[in-house]
Amino acid sequence: MRGSRALVGLLAAVVVVAALPARAFTQRGGGGAPPTPLEQTRLNILESGFKLNKDQKKEVKTILDEAHKSGAPVRAALTRTHAAIAAAIQSNKSQEVIDAAVNEYAQQAAAMTALEMQALAQVLQTLDQEQRANGAGVRSAFFLMRGIFLDNKRWDDTPDGRSY
């Protein structure tokens, strides 16, 4: 009896803690709302990471705009091949058919990755030697490029972890 009361009490405490809003844990002494992170676009991140001058920023934007436009056929193929995988699975197709659909999707994913890396190489070529030596900036740019051209409308959004 005593053990079950303790268990009920413990469960009640867990439910209460789980029901508390997350901001209750993030507030600092003084009350007030927690600070909101400054959302930066990909171009802002590249600009601040490499300390791009005005001309470099314009050139980087042009490179990425052009790469985004050239990625339209790959985006369409990724969507098409992704749907083909789903259709093959839903239709109970043979493993060979599913594998073929997956291989086609993999080819398109590789094409998108190649486009992203080519754009990154062009961006890095706009930098001077000191900017290229910024290892943290280069790593940040590398990870920033994954999925950069997947949105049909624009590439310069706040990164959201989207991938293919």
pLDDT per position as a tens digit, 35-73: 445 688 999 999 999 999 999 999 999 999 999 999 999
For the chain, count helices (H), then strands (E): 8, 0
Asked whether residue 90 is domain-assigned, the answer is: yes
Give the model's pLDDT for residue 9. 52
Number of domains in the chain: 1
Full domain range(s) for residue 125: 42-145
**Mean predicted confidence (pLDDT) in 66-90:** 97
**Mean predicted confidence (pLDDT) in 125-144:** 95
**Three-class secondary structure of residue 162 per DSSP:** coil
pLDDT per position as a tens digit, 14-39: 444 444 454 444 444 445 544 445 68
Q: DSSP labels for 123-153?
A: HHHTS-HHHHT-HHHHHHHHHHHTTTT-SSS
Whichever domain contains 123, its CATH number is 1.20.120.1490
Asked whether residue 127 is domain-assigned, the answer is: yes
Distance CA 160, CA 24 (A): 25
pTM: 0.72
Give the model's pLDDT for residue 32. 52
Distance CA 18, CA 10 (A): 12
pLDDT value at 5 more than 90: no
Asked whether residue 100 is domain-assigned, the answer is: yes
Asked whether residue 7 is domain-assigned, the answer is: no
Asked whether residue 6 is domain-assigned, the answer is: no
